[in-house]
Amino acid sequence: MKAATIYSVQPIRDYSSAKIMAPTGSYSEMVITPPSNKIKRAQFFFYGVLSVFALFVHCSLQANDTLKLIRRITIKGRIFTTDPTGNVYIVRDFNELIKLNTSGDSIGQFNEVRKGRITQIDASNPLRVLLYNAEYSQIVVLDNLLSLKNQIRLSDLGVFNAPVIANSADANIWVWDPTTAMLLKIDEKPRIQASTPLRMMLEFSPAPTYMVEQDRNLFMVDSTEGILRFDQFGFFKTRYPYPCKEVQFMNHQLIYFKDGRLNVYNTRSFTEKTLSIPSPETCLKVRVERERLYILRADCLEIYSLEVSSR
């Protein structure tokens, strides 16, 4: 492993004094209402489980350097993702969403998106799966059984051409508005709960291809600038100079696929590890969950186990 340097984008001004735009449209301090004890217990349990899963992945990626093919599923998928419990979500042609369990067996289906194309799946919270249709600026909210719960039109908020969205741990949704260069947090009504002007924090306007919140951090992937990291309130923290298409964050590790390899960067020890991927030239997307590695190819989904090295 070799040491790596983190490059941070210097803000134009000190953003510690920046304000968050309240739903009324005026700049004010954001007030957070403490959740009830019942909600606190549920959140504690859910994120405790996620922490355990993240630990499994951490151990695998640090100790393993070999892969063993478990199953190859014949399926033509456009995009796919995974959730922290190891379930897989694949979008096929005609916007058909298929949910597979950790063994690769089908356990759910959703095909009610009639217009446009599903461009993003966010299953970071398996109890609330988000489908995003960028062409129509529409978010579809599903439960863990893939039953339709809500449809959100960003145009109702005056937001058009938003390229990416992301689930938030506080039951809200992150939205990047390129027109105003605002990082928005909205609820399902929809109403804007917070708005952060990134022009005050960055020397460039991001062009994100992916966005995800994990471990109370929001990560925005820019194919040119790398991985931008924000806190849970939307304030910019740092930039990692690793241009890629998507990223996962588990136990202080950035995990991303680039140049035919799975790359793992530890944000605390500043060390890097890479894992070779079989037939990387045909890989459409690679993800890791628990002790499994998933590869989507044009005609199949491959599920591998991460085997522990004896060294």
What is the rounded average pLDDT for all residues in the chain?
83
What integer pLDDT is reported at residue 38 of this predicted model?
Answer: 46
What integer pLDDT is reported at residue 307 of this predicted model?
Answer: 66
Q: Residue 289: beta bridge partners? A: 292
pLDDT over threshold 70, residue 56: no
Q: Which domains does the chain carry?
A: 15-23+36-308 (2.120.10.30)
Here the tokens at position 13 are: 């001004």
pLDDT over threshold 70, residue 257: yes
What integer pLDDT is reported at residue 93 of this predicted model?
Answer: 87
CA distance 130 to 165: 9
pLDDT tens digit string along 291-306?
A: 899 999 999 999 999 7
For 292-296, which contacts have Cβ atoms below 8 Å and span 24 or more sequence positions?
292/70, 292/86, 292/102, 293/67, 293/262, 294/80, 294/82, 294/88, 296/77, 296/79, 296/80, 296/90
- pTM given for the model: 0.78
Under DSSP, the state recorded for 288 is: E
pLDDT tens digit string along 189-238?
A: 999 999 999 988 898 889 999 999 999 999 999 989 999 999 999 999 99
